Structure 1
Amino acid sequence: MDEAGTRRRRWFRRPGRPSAEAVRLAALALLAGAALNLAFAPVGWWPVAPIAVAAFSAMVSGRTGRRGMLIGFWFGTGFCWVMFQWLRVFGPGAQEAVGLVESLYFIPFGWGMARVSLTRFAPLWQACLWVTEEYGRSRWPFGGFSWGRLAFSQPDSPFTPLAAVGGAPLVTFAVALSGALLWRAVVVLRRDRRDGLRWVAALVAGALVVPALGFAVPLQNPDSGTPVRIALIQGNVPRVGFGRDEQEAAVLDNHVKETEVLAADIRSGKAVKPDLVVWPENGSDMDPYSDPGVADQIQQAVDDVGVPVLVGAVINANAAGTNVLNRLIVWTPGADGGMGATYDKTHLVPFGEYLPFRDILTKMIKRFNMIPRDFVPGHGKGVLTLGGVTVAAVICFEVAYDDVVRNAVKGGGQVLLVPSNNASYMGTGQTYQQLAIARFRAVEHGRWTMEAATSGVSAVIDPHGKILAQTGEYQARYLDTQVRRNTAITLADRVGAWPEYVLALLGLLAAIGLGGAATTLRRTRALIPAFRTPADTLPGAPDGDRAPSGPADDADLQTAAKGRAR
């Protein structure tokens, strides 16, 4: 049998009983992946992230690509199973299904990590591969799910300031590089305990220098910029179940009441009148455009507080009400006030806000019928103006997507607002994970950031990622704080997604082999006449179209054929 047939048999042979080594590696990978979650909120032990990276690098070191795929799958399973445990609120199967799908990304990732583990500059390529994996997971399928990135475990670590230079991809790269260097130091130490100490010291120093670079990054001064006072309203959501008409009415009532509490405190001198007020996402689950009673109730609260209010509401997108929009509405007080400019959520969460393949899945899984309607995406950037203040507004999970936040900030947003509805996830830690991402974005974009949530956690965050005020879960409360408007653009905003593109591409090329990639590209170009160069044309046919003829040409053709065979 030829070499290709042997290779196919090796990859597709019938699976037998796993070896003891395979079971041991799977168990260790599962534990390492689960342990990585300790770096994320609500625990927040950020040094665990580079240590977990080092452990994963050690497990794939010197392994075959196939064995690397196995290790990657179990590492991803351990990580994703714990990371998405908050999905259990949707019933049996939700956490398991999402955890399984997300862990599949770690299969090719493990293959690539094993492939580059023994190459020169292996820590560099492995750090790039972490960016490659997150690039794919954040985009496919259905727009991806940008949650659980290494960068989001670092809202207050020495790595954090690097976000202002290259965003989340650069921080992920730095964390992974630090961990991979630690692994490499262990390899050198085990290989040569006597003469390798200098290399070990250099590698450990490199692992420490990478986060230390963050101290050299100048961050936005929290005290610079024009002052502006913003109040966040957290009305709380009653715990009476999901999707009930009584709850929808109660949610609106609670946010109206808390706004009126703020207005009363302003009149009594207990609170300073803000320049604008922010309601959370879905502060009204009822459509104020189609229900005059809802509109009147909101208008009364806005008139009472006397300043523009950013209202989050669910809006019918069609007459039947089967499709809805997740909308933020600029609502102004006074006789000439009312509903003004809007922003509709652009990046929706599959299986949370809409159901892909609805006709098929509802027949296969009856529980999907509990999702009676689909949100549809909006268009444009989340840039709104309230009372002369231009804000960058992203809705809930959108804060995890680089381009959505960046577009809003570069569009002119001077303060970053994150209206959210995490009421379904209270007590699971999800809301604290999202708060950590908001803290990260504050540093990345150099903006005061304010998150308003229906039931918690609402918070005020300065441009260094520090939380200055915060509510708890299941509280009815408002936060009234003076922040600063900022128009400066960080380097991360200027370079945009280019660091991610470059690092992800380097990781991919390193995994498939730089030489192999160049050969493949050259052969592909040779097949396309428009891209042929003189070097790509056959000998004896300078124009690339004429067939060779004559003894000299035949000899040249044979030489070319042998070259291609080689």
Structure 2
Amino acid sequence: MPLWAAVLVAGAAGFLLNLGSPPVEWWPLTFVSVTLALLTLIGRNIGGALLAGAVFGTVFFTTHLVWVGEFLGPVPWIALAGVEAVLFGLGAVPIALAYRWTVRHRPRGAVQLLALPLLIGGLWASREVVMGAWPYSGFPWARVGMTQVGGPFVEVASWTGATGLSFLVVTMCAAVVQWLRAGGLRFVRGLIPVGVVVVLLVVTPQFPTTSAGAFRVGWVQGNGPTGYFDVKAPGDVLAAQTTATRPLYGQPMDLLAWPEGGVDADPLSDARAAAALDRVVKAAEAPLLMNAATTRGGAVFNTSLLWTADPADRQWHDKVNPVPFGEYVPDRWFYELLAPDLVGLIQREYTPGTNSPLMEVGDVRVGLAICFDVIYDTVIWAGAKQGAQLFVFQTNNADFRGTGENLQQLAFARMRAVETGRAVVNVSTVGTSQVIAPDGATLESVGVDTAGASISTVPLRTGLTPSTVLGPWLTCVLVLASSVALAAAGLSHRARTRAGDTAHPADRPRL
């Protein structure tokens, strides 16, 4: 493919992946997008692969993350999308090298039809792993596997996790590419690897977890002024949550859940806020899971508190991954030189939490994730492994009103339900709040910019899915195995080159 065509196709592929993702969520387009993206990398040299990958990343991330600039303007949006696009482009280089270094193997042989698609799938998944961990704790927001949460293959995630699902989707697309290169319709047997992956995706059921009773959760979307630039007076957010909760009083519940930022004062040091929460707990006759910024030992935390009538029974969990440039500024001195006005808006410096993402409500264990912590696998794995029987995710989407951000984040909540085999209560300040069954189906929902409250009886589950147990190992194995396999392909290619084994002219690397 000429470079100019590769650039155009890569841009189109990036746009298609955005359409395959929430909020549009036309999941079949993901397969088209990935297939086109791989075609742009065949025969490319390093510079050409970097360009094609960066173009794909630029189109995808600028469209997918447009919500970043909703209130802060274009600079943070372009900066984040630009960094992600560069990293995505760098991750395209190993894929192009894999195609180049295996070109001397027979087009209809096992290496081209079986080994290479597996390697391509591993390299793509490895790129997602790296981008999800670096820099500044990474941004594992956009993954190929996440686009399948509304499709027929999502149950596979209970075995493989989102990363493993990404690997399988890309492997299937890469197998299609190799079949086309080997002759397409003239070589029907070449579709066997594709068929195997499709069958695995279709017939694999969700891993069963064990029923452990039911739990009544009252959840409240207060629709208060929780945005960064919302006009409000102290106590307005707490008042909005309290008002929206009142219809639930007098109804039996085991837990009352409020969203992230549902209390706009530190109840550990503000007596009036603490007294107001005491009144809520008394009226609800249930413990309250709420969230506020707290200060302890001179450090500021984004904290979820289980507020009970007896202070001795209270528990808390601090957000594990504060959002860089949102909840703290890494290397502040440097970024103040670049954008002092924007950086100056971020006054608080939240400290990462180290306590368990789990609380005990009676004899029931509730797993937690605060806002963007839901996108980090390790937080979810930790809660499940420590015995969570359901999950409550608290979030504040007020700074992204009118965008698709809340639905993109909600897709993670649905995926986490499938991965862990647990029900999820995803409660937001302004929407979208949902109760999600262990199979990812939506049981109840409150839309955006609406105050609402409900009491939902959700199933409790025990037992660990393979996704939870093997997730850390699978991530490491994919990265290490792909790296080793690529290195082996490079050494083999070099040895064949020295031996005088030449490639077909059409397969030689092009810009």
1:262 aligns with 2:248: yes
Residue 71 of structure 1: SS of its match in structure 2? helix
* Corresponding residue for residue 75 of structure 1: 56
1:330 aligns with 2:306: yes
Tell me, which stretches of 5 or more residues in structure 1 are unaligned?
Answer: 1-19, 267-271, 520-566
* Corresponding residue for residue 28 of structure 2: 47
Instruction: List per-residue Cα deviations over 1:348-395 (Å, max 9, x = no partner).
Output: 111111111112322431221111111111112211012332101111
What one-letter code is carried by the residue in structure 1 that aligns with 2:92?
Answer: G
What one-letter code is carried by the residue in structure 2 that aligns with 1:46?
Answer: W
1:284 aligns with 2:263: yes
- Is residue 156–residue 204 contact of structure 2 (8 Å, CA) maintained in 1? no
* Corresponding residue for residue 137 of structure 2: 143
Distance (whole Å) between structure 2 residues aligned to residue 244 and residue 139 of structure 1: 35
- Is residue 120–residue 170 contact of structure 2 (8 Å, CA) maintained in 1? yes
Shift in Å at residue 197 of structure 1? 2.7
- Is residue 390–residue 460 contact of structure 2 (8 Å, CA) maintained in 1? yes
Distance (whole Å) between structure 1 residues aligned to residue 350 and residue 407 of structure 2: 25
Percent pairwise identity: 31
* Corresponding residue for residue 15 of structure 2: 34
What one-letter code is carried by the residue in structure 2 that aligns with 1:238?
Answer: P
* Match for residue 124 of structure 1 among 115, 118, 123: 118
- Is residue 410–residue 489 contact of structure 1 (8 Å, CA) maintained in 2? yes
- Is residue 157–residue 165 contact of structure 2 (8 Å, CA) maintained in 1? yes
Tell me, which stretches of 5 or more residues in structure 2 are unaligned?
Answer: 103-110, 495-511
1:179 aligns with 2:153: no
Q: Could you state the TM-score of these two structures normalised by the residue count of structure 1?
A: 0.81
Instruction: List per-residue Cα deviations over 1:493-545 (Å, max 9, x = no partner).
Output: 2223111111122222333345649x9xxxxxxxxxxxxxxxxxxxxxxxxxx
Aligned residues: 480
* Match for residue 435 of structure 1 among 405, 410, 413: 410
* Correspondences of 1:246-325 after superposition (within 5 Å): 246=233, 248-263=234-249, 266=250, 272-317=251-296, 324-325=300-301
Distance 1:207 1:489, change over 3 A: closer
What one-letter code is carried by the residue in structure 1 that aligns with 2:137?
Answer: G
Query: What is the Cα-based RMSD across aligned positions, in Å?
Result: 2.2
Distance 1:127 1:258, change over 3 A: same
Distance 1:350 1:508, change over 3 A: same
- Is residue 98–residue 489 contact of structure 2 (8 Å, CA) maintained in 1? no
* Match for residue 84 of structure 2 among 102, 105, 110: 102
Distance (whole Å) between structure 2 residues aligned to residue 71 and residue 362 of structure 1: 33
1:60 aligns with 2:26: no
* Match for residue 159 of structure 1 among 153, 170, 193: 153
Distance 1:475 1:387, change over 3 A: farther
- Is residue 233–residue 258 contact of structure 1 (8 Å, CA) maintained in 2? yes
Residue 105 of structure 1: SS of its match in structure 2? helix
Distance (whole Å) between structure 2 residues aligned to residue 237 and residue 424 of structure 1: 12
Distance (whole Å) between structure 1 residues aligned to residue 187 and residue 60 of structure 2: 33
What one-letter code is carried by the residue in structure 2 that aligns with 1:62?
Answer: G
What one-letter code is carried by the residue in structure 2 that aligns with 1:312?
Answer: N
Distance (whole Å) between structure 1 residues aligned to residue 347 and residue 230 of structure 2: 9
1:364 aligns with 2:338: yes
Distance (whole Å) between structure 1 residues aligned to residue 297 and residue 206 of structure 2: 49
Instruction: List per-residue Cα deviations over 1:377-419 (Å, max 9, x = no partner).
Output: 1112211012332101111111111111100111111111101
Shift in Å at residue 124 of structure 1? 1.1
Distance (whole Å) between structure 2 residues aligned to residue 376 and residue 241 of structure 1: 19
Greater relative contact order (Cα 8 A, min sep 6): structure 1 or 2?
A: 2
- Is residue 182–residue 207 contact of structure 1 (8 Å, CA) maintained in 2? no
* Correspondences of 1:476-495 after superposition (within 5 Å): 476-495=451-470
1:227 aligns with 2:214: yes
Shift in Å at residue 220 of structure 1? 3.1
Q: Could you state the TM-score of these two structures normalised by the residue count of structure 2?
A: 0.89
Bigger mean CA offset, 57-66 vs 449-458 = 57-66
Deviant stretches of 4+, over 6 Å: none
Instruction: List per-residue Cα deviations over 1:62-116 (Å, max 9, x = no partner).
Output: 2223211111111111111112111012212111000000111122221111111
1:216 aligns with 2:204: yes
